[in-house]
Amino acid sequence: MNKKSVRDVEVSGKRVFVRVDFNVPLENGKITDDTRIRETLPTIKYLTDRGAKVILASHLGRPKGQVVEDMRLTPAAARLSELLGKPVAKADEAIGDAVKAQIAKLNDGDVLLLENVRFYAGEEKNDPELAKAFAELADLYVNDAFGAAHRAHASTEGIAHHLPAVSGLLMEKELDVLGKALNKPDRPFTAIVGGAKVKDKIAVIEKLIEIADNIIIGGGLSYTFFKAKGHEIGKSLVDNDRLELVQEFERKAKEKGVNFLLPVDVVVGDDFSASANTKIVDVDQIPADWEGFDIGPKTRELFAKTIAESKLIVWNGPMGVFELKPFEDGTKAVAEACAATAGYTIIGGGDSAAAVEKFHLGDKMDHISTGGGASLEFMEGKALPGVVALNDK
């Protein structure tokens, strides 16, 4: 990488603002998968071992510029403290005099976690005033939030214009591993896209058609494709603004000789809950009032066959609502197929990583990336604003 990292600068005694991605899955205030926190330990330890004062900043969820009590970072501070085996102070805000006073009390080697940066409307707008307010807290900026590197926000991009700015060790590792795998991909190369961030994911498919041999679509994303074909989709997730666009994808894929696989059957439920009534139906038989929550058994077999024959598999986004027992089997089947294939497997995204860990298959994958959207955009060849803003070597 041509960007400076923590290894290239003096950190001892400095106040270091480290942007991490602690956007972890939570259930009733408990962290269900701490991968993203564990993955930042090398950077945090590197800095504390050398006597830096570490000021951590992250977003959690999408609170849209408001304080949302359930989206405070308090559980992340507690988990980090357990993992580091030492106290981690927690601020109730991310900027301002109270935070500055807390920082002034830090000793060399101490760690402080700021409050959710998305509680401030300026974060996602990349407001220069907010970026300056973050920069006032520190002497050095470290970006270790690979999962948010595709966002040009005040704490991922703006701040880098006000302080010396370098990458963390996780950021460096992610770019290195993904770069090596995707520079000259082994073929057949299969991209699997699922999940619930429908708009974001649809945006990357067009480019994937140009680089992958097989594209597998599952999860909440698929229903926009079914609706575009004129099928009833009941109450399933949909992006009504992109019905024409997704039809284009299938046409383009055909033109390029890319195998474009959509689910053929799905598991529908009458409620978003673990006690919902469920049915398995073909994709043109979804009842009105029901909602598609998982891929069906015929689809699992179809997807598994393609995964088995692939040399490189990049998977982002669960195949269904794997958090709920009745809708976990599709994601589990794809995770098992990825675990069994001889191909090189890269799993990306907070929830996809959580799913693989839930099924105890994490150690069977070649790389679990902390970024879903970020790894997809990296794969597209797009510049990641959180990386571009860092100082060149």
Interface region with ligand X15, contact rule CB under 6 A, candidates 38-46, 66-74, 94-102, 368-376: 368-376
Which of 220, 320, 373, 386 is flagged as catalytic? 373
Provide the minimum distance between the beta carbon of 339 and ligand X15 in the complex, in angstroms, as a whole number.
20
Closest CA to 258 of 216, 320, 308: 216
The answer to the question of residue 157 lying near ligand X15 (CB under 6 A) is no
Interface mask toward ligand ADP for 250-289; x: CB under 6 A:
----------------------------------------
58 is in an annotated binding site: no
Is 195 one of the binding residues for ligand ADP (CB under 6 A)?
A: yes
Neighbours of 363 (CB within 10 A): 9
Cα gap 101→85, rounded to integer Å: 24
Provide the 3-class DSSP secondary structure of residue 222.
helix
Q: Which partner in ligand ADP, ligand X15, none is near 3 (CB below 5 to 8 A by kind)?
A: none
Query: Which member of 122, 168, 320, 350 is catalytic?
Result: 350
Question: Does the annotation mark 257 as catalytic?
Answer: no
Nearer to ligand ADP among residue 75 and residue 219 (C-beta): 219
Identified catalytic residue from 197, 235, 300, 332:
197
Q: Does 293 bind ligand ADP (CB under 6 A)?
A: yes
105 is catalytic: no
Q: Letter for the amino acid at 366?
A: D
82 marked as binding residue:
no
- Tell the residue number behind the tokens 């948010």, with chain if given: 148
Verify binding: residue 63, ligand ADP, rule CB under 6 A: no
Name the DSSP letter for residue 216: E
Indicate if 350 belongs to the active site. Answer: yes
Query: Annotated binding residue at 15?
Result: no
Sign of CA dihedral 293, 377, 247, 258: negative
CA-derived radius of gyration, the chain = 21
Minimum Å gap between C-beta 207 and ligand ADP is 17
| C-alpha distances out from residue 257 to 66, 119, 214, Å | 47, 46, 9
Full DSSP string of 149-214 = TT---TTTTGGGGTS-EEE-HHHHHHHHHHHHHHHS--SSEEEEE-SS-HHHHHHHHHHHHHH-SE
State which of residues 154, 237, 283, 346 lies at the interface with ligand ADP (CB under 6 A): 237
Beta-bridge mates of residue 315: 192, 347
Give the residue ranges of the annotated binding site for ATP. 201, 292, 323, 349-352
Binding-site entries for substrate = 21-23, 36, 59-62, 118, 151
Which active-site residues does the annotation give?
A: 36, 197, 350, 373
List binding-site positions. 21-23, 36, 59-62, 118, 151, 201, 292, 323, 349-352
